[in-house]
Chains A and B, each alone.
Chain A
Amino acid sequence: MTLIDKIATTLQAGDDAAMPALTRAALDEGLTPQEILDRGLIAGMTVVGRRFRDFEVFLPDVLLAARAMKAAVDVLSPHFIGGEMSAAGTVVLGTVRGDLHDIGKNLVGIMLTGVGFKVVDLGTDVPPQAFVDAAVEHEADVVGMSALLTTTAPVMAEVVGIIREQGLSGKVRTIVGGAPMSADLAEQLGADAYAFDAPGAVDRVQELVASK
């Protein structure tokens, strides 16, 4: 097994104690931080996400994998140009106004943090303007909105509208999720992306940031 594969499988096993040494060894072998991130960490996390979606593993395994990823990212971060990881970004998260459900949103926050994003969690019942204000204040790449209730879809469209009015389209991207949401509805609301579940949200956020 190559070192990069070993990193991916160790991450899948959630062995956070083993990650720093493996990551350092990969850097010593001359692999770039980006290669280690993409082909080791993100590749491993993608497998965990798929297995979670297929109910082969449950959340504890995802959380352990996320922690293993964090352990590797801590080693990698200083090696990126400027000392910052280029792949990670900032995500503002919240459950939209009128809605108090936050289990799914919290999962997304945990997983995004695990893969090296800075997460600004605004909590539940978040007014539309507060999403955009936080995005501006924290120079966020992505605003993530969650909802479970029947009445909350239009609130997401309001956030998208404010982003457009403030001339932030393309700069601040939007992703929506939650039990009542769908790709179709996300498109109708003008959101840039939709995720079915938390691992999916991580994939989509990474795509949104990469496509900026």
Chain B
Amino acid sequence: MSGLRARLQQGRTLLSDGAMGTMLMATGLEQGECPEQMSLTRPTALTRISEAYSVAGADLIHTNTFGGSPLRLAEYGLEDRTEDINREAVVSARAGARGDTLVSGSVGPSGRILEPYGDLSEDEAYESFFRQATALAQGGVDAITVETMIDLREAVIAVRACRAAGPSVPVLATMTFQPTPRGFHTVMGTGVPQAAEALIAVGADVVGSNCGNGIATMIEVAEAFRAATDHAIMIQPNAGIPEVRAGLVHYPETPADFAAAAPVLVALGVSVIGGCCGTDTAHIRALRQAIDGQTPTP
């Protein structure tokens, strides 16, 4: 089984997984329960989610550790469980990975705002990400995905911490952008070229974007990344921007929409394609077929 770096070098488009939150809710996450604690309380439910995405054709699945940094876990008084929550999340995901599906550790934002705008020091942020990344590396992840970042400084700190925690573990780093009259920016004001340059400089193997936009807009984000860098790019769109139909909220982009857009992303040379909020196994299956139709298997 070849690792992420070898597969990226082969030039094939890798398929990532879809949304985790909705899947967790469907398994009956208790009210007020810390989602990440499920790796201790109900690991088999997590394994089933991983298995579903793996069977749907994902080359890369993610652990249920988006909020698994001690800073986030502290909101539930669980920061002392950082090590076992993250390690066990890797074990649960691995148990569901079929064939040569790779397991990447999800690392989301700290939930705090760095000084001088907020009260989080850079050292505190680094320490928090380092602890989580160390536990993920000890659990045996094939990669770590730093995702949904809006503050470039925080993203850079997270990537540095991941690289230090597992020097041989590849790191994917994606941020959430919104369209503005001056091009795509995160809500903190980071543009795509700036993000690409800084994340690559600290050793991200793959850079890109997740969340915030549907796949049509994400094609434009991918173009912005491609214009900025020759580096490997990852794109994980939402299933569109949620809208209201007949009083119910609903994500408009279907698996067919994803399948139709995928060839454009492949043509742009995007290395990893997956889904974020609103996507499920049907979107991933559709992407699998679209990607396989595009790239001849070597």
Contacts and interface: CB of A to CB of B under 8 A. Distances in A.
B189 A60 contact: yes
* Chain B interface, DSSP helix/strand/loop, else mixed: loop
B244 A151 contact: no
A98 B25 CA distance: 7
B183 to A, nearest CB: 10
B251 A150 contact: yes
A126 B244 CA distance: 22
B228 interface: no
Interface stretch (A26-34, A70-78, A79-87, A181-189): A181-189
A100 B21 contact: yes
Contacts of B250: 150, 180
Interface residues of B, number: 37
Contact of B243 (A98, A99, A101, A180): A180
B180 interface: yes
A148 interface: yes
Q: Is the interface of A mostly helix, strand, loop or mixed?
A: loop
Contacts of B277: 101, 148-149
A153 B242 CA distance: 12
Interface in A94-130: 97-103, 106-107, 110, 123, 125-127, 130
B23 to A, nearest CB: 12
A25 interface: no
Nearest to B30: A125
Contact of B22 (A63, A130, A149, A180): A149
B181 A55 contact: yes
Contact of A55 (B25, B182, B243, B247): B182
Given A60-B189, A180-B242, A185-B244, A151 B249 contact: yes
Interface in B128-163: 150
Interface stretch (B97-105, B110-118, B166-174, B195-203): B110-118
5 contacts: A54-B181, A58-B188, A150-B242, A179-B242, A180-B249
Interface of A: 54-55, 57-60, 63-64, 97-103, 106-107, 110, 123, 125-127, 130, 147-153, 179-182, 184-185, 188
Given A63-B118, A100-B67, 4 more contacts: A58-B189, A60-B188, A101-B277, A110-B113
